[in-house]
Amino acid sequence: TKRKQAKEVLQESERKYRNIYNNAQIGLYRARLHDGKMVMANNRMAEICGYQNVEECINNFVAAEHYVYPKRRDKLVESINEHGILNNFETPIRKDDGSIVWVQLSGIASSEKGFFEGIVVDITKRKKAEEEKLKAQKIAREQKKLALVGQIAGKMAHDFNNILQIIMGNAQLALVNSKD
Protein backbone atom coordinates (compact mmCIF):
# COMPACT_ATOMS: atom_id res chain seq x y z
CA THR A 1 0.00 0.00 0.00
CA LYS A 2 2.80 2.43 0.90
CA ARG A 3 4.60 1.60 -2.33
CA LYS A 4 1.42 2.19 -4.33
CA GLN A 5 0.80 5.54 -2.56
CA ALA A 6 4.41 6.58 -3.13
CA LYS A 7 4.10 5.65 -6.80
CA GLU A 8 0.89 7.70 -7.13
CA VAL A 9 2.51 10.70 -5.40
CA LEU A 10 5.52 10.38 -7.69
CA GLN A 11 3.32 10.17 -10.80
CA GLU A 12 1.29 13.21 -9.68
CA SER A 13 4.47 15.16 -9.02
CA GLU A 14 5.87 14.18 -12.44
CA ARG A 15 2.61 15.20 -14.13
CA LYS A 16 2.70 18.62 -12.42
CA TYR A 17 6.30 19.33 -13.35
CA ARG A 18 5.86 18.06 -16.90
CA ASN A 19 2.85 20.39 -17.22
CA ILE A 20 4.89 23.34 -15.91
CA TYR A 21 7.77 22.47 -18.27
CA ASN A 22 5.60 22.08 -21.35
CA ASN A 23 3.48 25.19 -20.71
CA ALA A 24 6.24 27.58 -19.61
CA GLN A 25 6.20 30.90 -21.46
CA ILE A 26 9.96 30.77 -22.01
CA GLY A 27 11.78 28.25 -24.16
CA LEU A 28 13.37 25.42 -22.20
CA TYR A 29 15.77 23.00 -23.85
CA ARG A 30 18.63 20.58 -23.58
CA ALA A 31 21.11 20.32 -26.44
CA ARG A 32 24.42 18.78 -27.40
CA LEU A 33 27.07 21.43 -26.97
CA HIS A 34 29.27 20.61 -29.96
CA ASP A 35 26.58 21.06 -32.66
CA GLY A 36 23.54 22.40 -30.80
CA LYS A 37 21.34 19.41 -31.69
CA MET A 38 18.32 19.59 -29.44
CA VAL A 39 17.53 16.50 -27.41
CA MET A 40 14.77 18.01 -25.27
CA ALA A 41 12.53 21.06 -25.66
CA ASN A 42 9.24 22.48 -24.50
CA ASN A 43 6.35 23.88 -26.56
CA ARG A 44 7.55 27.50 -26.32
CA MET A 45 11.00 26.51 -27.58
CA ALA A 46 9.45 24.82 -30.60
CA GLU A 47 7.36 27.93 -31.25
CA ILE A 48 10.38 30.27 -31.01
CA CYS A 49 12.29 28.08 -33.50
CA GLY A 50 9.32 28.08 -35.88
CA TYR A 51 8.15 24.48 -35.54
CA GLN A 52 4.61 23.17 -35.11
CA ASN A 53 5.45 20.86 -32.22
CA VAL A 54 8.22 19.68 -29.92
CA GLU A 55 8.97 16.48 -31.87
CA GLU A 56 9.50 18.43 -35.09
CA CYS A 57 11.78 20.84 -33.24
CA ILE A 58 13.86 18.06 -31.67
CA ASN A 59 14.14 16.19 -34.97
CA ASN A 60 15.10 19.20 -37.10
CA PHE A 61 16.68 22.01 -35.10
CA VAL A 62 20.47 22.08 -34.98
CA ALA A 63 21.70 25.38 -33.57
CA ALA A 64 24.94 25.34 -35.58
CA GLU A 65 22.84 25.59 -38.76
CA HIS A 66 20.41 28.26 -37.53
CA TYR A 67 22.67 30.99 -36.19
CA VAL A 68 22.60 34.08 -38.38
CA TYR A 69 26.19 34.78 -37.30
CA PRO A 70 27.95 31.41 -36.78
CA LYS A 71 30.86 33.08 -34.96
CA ARG A 72 28.39 34.15 -32.25
CA ARG A 73 27.68 30.47 -31.59
CA ASP A 74 31.42 29.76 -31.41
CA LYS A 75 31.65 32.51 -28.79
CA LEU A 76 28.73 30.97 -26.88
CA VAL A 77 30.32 27.48 -26.87
CA GLU A 78 33.67 28.95 -25.83
CA SER A 79 32.03 30.77 -22.91
CA ILE A 80 30.20 27.63 -21.76
CA ASN A 81 33.36 25.53 -21.99
CA GLU A 82 35.35 28.13 -20.07
CA HIS A 83 32.83 29.12 -17.38
CA GLY A 84 30.21 26.37 -17.46
CA ILE A 85 27.46 28.99 -17.50
CA LEU A 86 25.89 31.45 -19.89
CA ASN A 87 23.93 34.56 -18.93
CA ASN A 88 21.77 36.77 -21.15
CA PHE A 89 23.54 36.00 -24.42
CA GLU A 90 21.69 37.83 -27.22
CA THR A 91 21.83 36.66 -30.81
CA PRO A 92 19.63 36.39 -33.89
CA ILE A 93 18.68 32.92 -35.10
CA ARG A 94 16.95 31.73 -38.25
CA LYS A 95 13.58 30.07 -37.71
CA ASP A 96 12.53 27.03 -39.73
CA ASP A 97 10.80 29.27 -42.31
CA GLY A 98 13.93 31.41 -42.75
CA SER A 99 12.68 34.44 -40.82
CA ILE A 100 14.94 35.89 -38.15
CA VAL A 101 14.12 36.06 -34.46
CA TRP A 102 16.27 37.64 -31.74
CA VAL A 103 16.73 35.47 -28.67
CA GLN A 104 18.32 35.80 -25.26
CA LEU A 105 19.97 32.61 -23.99
CA SER A 106 20.92 31.64 -20.46
CA GLY A 107 21.89 28.26 -19.13
CA ILE A 108 24.42 25.94 -17.67
CA ALA A 109 26.59 23.05 -18.80
CA SER A 110 24.85 19.81 -17.92
CA SER A 111 26.24 17.42 -15.36
CA GLU A 112 26.30 14.99 -18.29
CA LYS A 113 29.39 16.07 -20.24
CA GLY A 114 28.80 17.54 -23.68
CA PHE A 115 25.28 18.84 -23.04
CA PHE A 116 23.85 22.26 -22.27
CA GLU A 117 20.56 23.06 -20.56
CA GLY A 118 19.05 26.46 -20.85
CA ILE A 119 16.26 28.92 -21.37
CA VAL A 120 15.45 31.03 -24.40
CA VAL A 121 13.46 34.26 -24.42
CA ASP A 122 12.21 35.82 -27.65
CA ILE A 123 13.41 39.45 -27.55
CA THR A 124 12.54 40.36 -31.15
CA LYS A 125 10.02 43.03 -30.15
CA ARG A 126 12.52 44.64 -27.79
CA LYS A 127 15.23 44.66 -30.48
CA LYS A 128 12.85 46.23 -33.00
CA ALA A 129 11.87 48.88 -30.44
CA GLU A 130 15.57 49.61 -29.82
CA GLU A 131 16.15 49.99 -33.57
CA GLU A 132 13.17 52.35 -33.88
CA LYS A 133 14.45 54.37 -30.92
CA LEU A 134 17.89 54.70 -32.57
CA LYS A 135 16.26 55.78 -35.84
CA ALA A 136 14.11 58.33 -34.00
CA GLN A 137 17.18 59.68 -32.19
CA LYS A 138 19.03 59.98 -35.52
CA ILE A 139 16.08 61.84 -37.06
CA ALA A 140 15.91 64.11 -34.00
CA ARG A 141 19.63 64.91 -34.35
CA GLU A 142 19.13 65.71 -38.04
CA GLN A 143 16.13 67.90 -37.17
CA LYS A 144 18.23 69.78 -34.60
CA LYS A 145 20.95 70.35 -37.18
CA LEU A 146 18.40 71.65 -39.70
CA ALA A 147 16.82 73.89 -37.06
CA LEU A 148 20.25 75.31 -36.19
CA VAL A 149 21.03 75.94 -39.86
CA GLY A 150 17.64 77.66 -40.18
CA GLN A 151 18.36 79.88 -37.19
CA ILE A 152 21.77 80.85 -38.56
CA ALA A 153 20.30 81.57 -41.99
CA GLY A 154 17.56 83.68 -40.38
CA LYS A 155 20.09 85.73 -38.40
CA MET A 156 22.25 86.23 -41.50
CA ALA A 157 19.22 87.31 -43.53
CA HIS A 158 18.23 89.74 -40.75
CA ASP A 159 21.75 91.26 -40.66
CA PHE A 160 21.83 91.46 -44.46
CA ASN A 161 18.43 93.20 -44.48
CA ASN A 162 19.71 95.75 -41.96
CA ILE A 163 22.58 96.64 -44.29
CA LEU A 164 20.22 96.77 -47.31
CA GLN A 165 17.84 99.07 -45.40
CA ILE A 166 20.68 101.57 -44.86
CA ILE A 167 21.63 101.43 -48.56
CA MET A 168 17.99 101.75 -49.67
CA GLY A 169 17.39 104.62 -47.22
CA ASN A 170 20.44 106.53 -48.49
CA ALA A 171 19.41 105.84 -52.09
CA GLN A 172 15.91 107.24 -51.42
CA LEU A 173 17.39 110.37 -49.76
CA ALA A 174 19.67 110.81 -52.76
CA LEU A 175 16.63 110.62 -55.05
CA VAL A 176 14.75 113.24 -53.00
CA ASN A 177 17.67 115.66 -53.23
CA SER A 178 18.18 114.96 -56.93
CA LYS A 179 16.81 117.46 -59.47
CA ASP A 180 16.95 115.00 -62.39
pLDDT, average across residues 87-95 = 91
User: Average pLDDT of the chain?
Assistant: 88
Of 56 and 1, the structure prediction assigns the larger pLDDT to 56
Please write the tens of the pLDDT for every residue from 114-144: 888 999 999 989 888 888 888 988 988 888 8
Residue 104 above 90 pLDDT?
A: yes
Task: State the Cα–Cα distance between residues 31 and 37, nearest whole angstrom.
Answer: 5
Instruction: Please tell me the distance from the alpha carbon of residue 113 to that of residue 40, in angstroms, as a whole number.
Output: 16
Given this model, what pLDDT does residue 123 score? Answer: 93
Say yes or no to pLDDT of 103 above 90: yes
Contacts of 30 (CB under 8 A, 6+ apart): 38, 39, 40, 41, 110, 115, 116, 117
State yes or no: pLDDT of 85 exceeds 80: yes
Predicted confidence at residue 96, as pLDDT, reads 87
pLDDT reported for residue 66: 87
pLDDT surpassing 80 at residue 177: no
Q: Are 75 and 120 in contact (CB under 8 A)?
A: no
Region 97-119 average pLDDT: 89
